[in-house]
Amino acid sequence: MTVTEEFSLYRIVSAIILSGSNILLVQNNSNDADYTWSLPGGVVELNETLEKALYREVHEETGLHVQNQELAYIHESFIRKYTAHSLVTVFRIEVDLKDTPQMNDPDGEIVQVKWVPVRELSHYIKKSHVLRALEKWLKTRQTCYIKEKEIL
């Protein structure tokens, strides 16, 4: 892939939160139907570490507190529609599963938090490159780097 356009870098963190055969997803308040459901997460703010951004985003979007985290995968892509160079760091995190997820989003970006059976992910996550990366990790549980070969 050769990038000849100027793309803005977006550093993003996402969280894989599992409970048995379910995964926690958030429904975004978005006009783009392809990005309606996603893993909890968001943009890393200026001078913020990945860890701090992860803890903040998970708490804002789900009301849960991260107890432990490990790197799952890094997913890099260029998205022409948004002139975005997307660098997503995805963590597998642990939370207290006795706590009930609830929106705590000061930005009003999240409209719902929901446990979804892993086998039904394709009904929720509509961007094929995002779904492919997540399914690959769920199958292997191996830390990896995934780079899209083409500009999306």
Alpha helices (H) in the chain, listed in sequence order: 50-62, 121-124, 128-140
pLDDT in tens, 6-49: 999 999 999 999 999 999 999 998 776 556 899 999 999 999 99
* Three-state DSSP state, 87: strand
Q: In terms of pTM, does the model score above 0.85?
A: yes
Is residue 87 within 8 A of residue 148, CB to CB? The reply is: no
pLDDT in tens, 91-132: 999 999 999 998 887 888 899 999 999 999 999 999 899 999
